[in-house]
Structure 1
Amino acid sequence: MRILFAVAPLTAHLYPSIPLAWALQSAGHEVRVAGNTGLVEEITAAGLTAVGLGERTSPPAPVTDVELDRFSDALGFEAGSDFDQLWRAIRFYLVAANKRYHPDEEGRQELADNLVEAARTWRPDLVIWDPACPAGSVAARESGAASARLMWGPDYLGWIRGRLVERMNDPASGVSADTDPLAATLAPVFGRFGHDFSDELVFGDFTVDPIPSQLPRYEGLRRVPMRWVPYTGAAPMPEWLSQPPSRPRVCLSLGVTGRTVHDGPDARVMAAFEAVADMDVEVVATVNADQLGEDVRVPDNVRLFDYIPLTQVMPTCSAVIHHGGFGTFFAAAAHRVPQMIVRDELGSALNTSRYLEAKGAGVVLHSDGLTAAQVGGELSRMLTEPSFRRGTAAVYADMTAAPGPGEIVPVLERMAEQHRTRG
């Protein structure tokens, strides 16, 4: 069987697909992973065949307040409600991720065009695509392949679509198919290849879901549950990591993708450095020069790295401080490491932080007004109070309840046979 993975041009979206790609390749299937030129080296470093899609030659049009307001009005969540807070946390990402595949002002869209052409040429049996890469769904249809989404977080798009359908079925809401903001957002992607907006294109034939059932999900879709197996990149193991730490080791990581969102020194880094300077801990900080700034003092007990795979560091850690992204969250959860999430208003952190607190597996702080005293006090609790270790065991139990990537390979084989449209 031929399987084509299609991912958005971000390492945080590539990494969750690697363990499943390995499992399918190890089962004897032909596997290719399609991504922009910037991901080709990462794909090949993981031992997989890369299909380079080039680069977008112009940035996507910026997300406007009008577009976001159109979504907010159509969804109609009560201001301040849990749903309204979640929408506000993810709304910019939801629109921006999909606009990445819109044609530019001159009608060009290299990433989508090259992906669809690669699928037409190679003729895979199954296309497994990132929800932030809607062109993957088109590639499956254009090649006659079965179409599967692979989640890297809760099903935000499914949640939004379910709410919009509910509102469209309510005449009093004022929302109709003509005013559906999700259809308007995705129509340029699908229409470029002659397809109308449809739920079948938005969601594929089925969804491979590595997110524990205790996190929010849209229940109206066919799902194949899978255990999240952390992959955080490939690099030689540093010699010092082979030795057990002489005092508690704490990892500080604010994510690779976040480096493209936050400009200039990151106040979370400065607060953490000030907090740990007088603590009897060793800190491994994966931050770059932009996040540090020019004047920050790096304490003597901090090892500084631009990048090191978290899967190498985490088995030796007693705690981790991070931004709330799912890659870091599950890398820590796999080794039952207590977590401190310092979140802002963007991205996945609202979900991971609520789940973390509910399980008692860590603490959550907000980036606004963050102080060294807050970080130091909560970190001391995490390192000394046994309840946090009990909480991490509960998260680990949720995480490992689903079958591993290798175990679902026969399921994917059957689903591909059932849903592909060519002989």
Structure 2
Amino acid sequence: MRVLVVSAPLIGHVFPMIPLAAALREAGHEVLVATGGDGMAAARSGLPVHDVAPGFDLGRIALRVLPRHPLVARAELAGTAGTRGAGLLFGALNDRLTDPVVALATEWKPDLVLHEPFAVAGAVAAARLGVPAVRQENALFDGRELGRATIARLSGALRRHGLAELPPPAAAIAVAPPSVLRQDGWPMRYASYVGGGELPDWLREPGERPRVLVSRSTLTGPGGAWPMPAVAAAAARVDAEFVLVRPDPRTARRPLPGNVRTVDWIPLHAALPASAALVHHGGAGSVYNALTAGVPQLATFGPGDRRQNAELVARRGAGLAVPPRDITAETLTRLVTDPALRAAAREVSREIAAMPPPADLVARLEDLP
């Protein structure tokens, strides 16, 4: 079976799709990943990757699209736009992706198209060829709502390819633990390709004091580095060790307290088991990594889906959701000492561990008509 995996051209979108794609290849199927931009780093996994978005720049798309919708743009920056902002941005992106994805599929002739919710161009290609399309969730949205918001912006692309509408997917794959968010589809344990980086020996074991990892977004733009300056400013008054992962240049240039260290890109999932907590920008990948490891997290509010992600974590009791300006020594102390946060995080970790691993989904995909 030939499987075309279609993702938006962004690391945070394509990396969570690699484990299932790799499981399909290990089962003897031929797999091709279609993405672009920094998502081309997926080639380091050993899977073949095709660039369907040469010259991709999400910032340019945002500057072209969002000023036409000022109210949605304002809500998107505040993290309160829901799927409206994502529909505008990724609708414009998928309008651009559809033609090259359909062209690739027409030439390569897949038997199945596996796509993420932000890459409905894959569903268009599947419909054009008459093969099953499967939506694999990789965020903390309801993919059905996100798909509707994006497809609403694709009328021109659909007409170009002779389609009046998109049929529903042949199946969907849900990765969110149900106690955090109920998604439609076959359950699958969240996993993500790491993409490189070495874990220093000192991060493999717990330190003398609770260790807090602090990460930032792989995207440039508003809010990507927000947690780090606030954590660095408060750290000296907290009985913990803080590790800034890929600190932004401005923070890295400043004098840091003695209990703050820095590292370059590391496999975050491998460092979390020896850590007491994670502070991050609210991205879905960071949320899933902390939930999987069973460690409390502090997620800050920010643009796009970050506020929603943070609020989901706080609602479940597995962490804290605060604006960056409210990160204080007291907040960070609570993060590493509150037993209720730790207990809830471990409950969700056990819930995720009970979900089927990606390899278990291969047979179900093989059985699709």
**Shorter chain as normaliser: what TM range?**
0.7 to 0.9
Higher-Rg structure is: 1
- Equivalent position of 2:336 in the other structure: 383
Q: Match for 2:290 among 320, 326, 332?
A: 332
For the Cα contact (< 8 Å) 2:87–2:150, is it kept in 1? no
- Equivalent position of 1:212 in the other structure: 177
The answer to whether the aligner puts 1:358 opposite 2:315 as a matched pair is: yes
- 1:6-405 equivalences under 5 Å are 6-36=6-36, 38-40=38-40, 42-56=41-55, 59-60=60-61, 62-64=64-66, 67=69, 88-102=81-95, 109=96, 111-156=97-142, 158-159=144-145, 184-196=152-164, 198-200=165-167, 203-217=168-182, 223-257=185-219, 259-262=220-223, 266-290=225-249, 292=251, 296-344=254-302, 346-367=303-324, 370-371=325-326, 374-405=327-358
Quick one: distance in 2 between partners of 1:226 and 1:87? 28
Quick one: distance in 2 between partners of 1:37 and 1:349? 21
One-letter code aligned to 1:214: S
For the Cα contact (< 8 Å) 2:226–2:281, is it kept in 1? no
For the Cα contact (< 8 Å) 2:4–2:34, is it kept in 1? yes
Give 1:351 shift.
Answer: 3.4
One-letter code aligned to 2:366: E
Quick one: distance in 2 between partners of 1:191 and 1:240? 56
One-letter code aligned to 1:63: V
Would you say how many aligned residue pairs link Structure 1 and Structure 2?
Answer: 364
- Equivalent position of 1:105 in the other structure: none
Give 1:156 shift.
Answer: 4.2
Percent identity over the alignment is 28
One-letter code aligned to 1:52: D
CA deviation string 1:66-118 (max 9, x = no partner): 547699xxxxxxxx9xxxx986244323311221133xxxxxx4x43332222
Runs of at least 5 residues in structure 2 that lack an aligned partner in the other structure: none
Quick one: distance in 1 between partners of 2:218 and 2:151? 30
Give 1:18 shift.
Answer: 1.2
One-letter code aligned to 1:8: A
- Structure 1 350/116 Cα, relative in aligned 2: closer, same or farther at 3 Å? same
Please report the TM-score for the alignment, with normalisation by the length of structure 1.
Answer: 0.77
3-state SS of 1:363 partner: strand
- Structure 1 182/208 Cα, relative in aligned 2: closer, same or farther at 3 Å? closer
Please report the TM-score for the alignment, with normalisation by the length of structure 2.
Answer: 0.87
Give 1:336 shift.
Answer: 0.8
Runs of at least 5 residues in structure 1 that lack an aligned partner in the other structure: 72-79, 103-108, 163-180, 419-423
One-letter code aligned to 1:193: H
Quick one: distance in 2 between partners of 1:284 and 1:53? 36
- Of the structure 1 ranges 51-60 and 26-35, higher mean CA displacement relative to structure 2 is found in 51-60
3-state SS of 1:16 partner: helix
Quick one: distance in 2 between partners of 1:57 and 1:396? 36
Quick one: distance in 2 between partners of 1:64 and 1:21? 33
For the Cα contact (< 8 Å) 1:128–1:136, is it kept in 2? yes
- Structure 1 287/116 Cα, relative in aligned 2: closer, same or farther at 3 Å? same
Give 1:216 shift.
Answer: 4.4
For the Cα contact (< 8 Å) 2:15–2:39, is it kept in 1? no
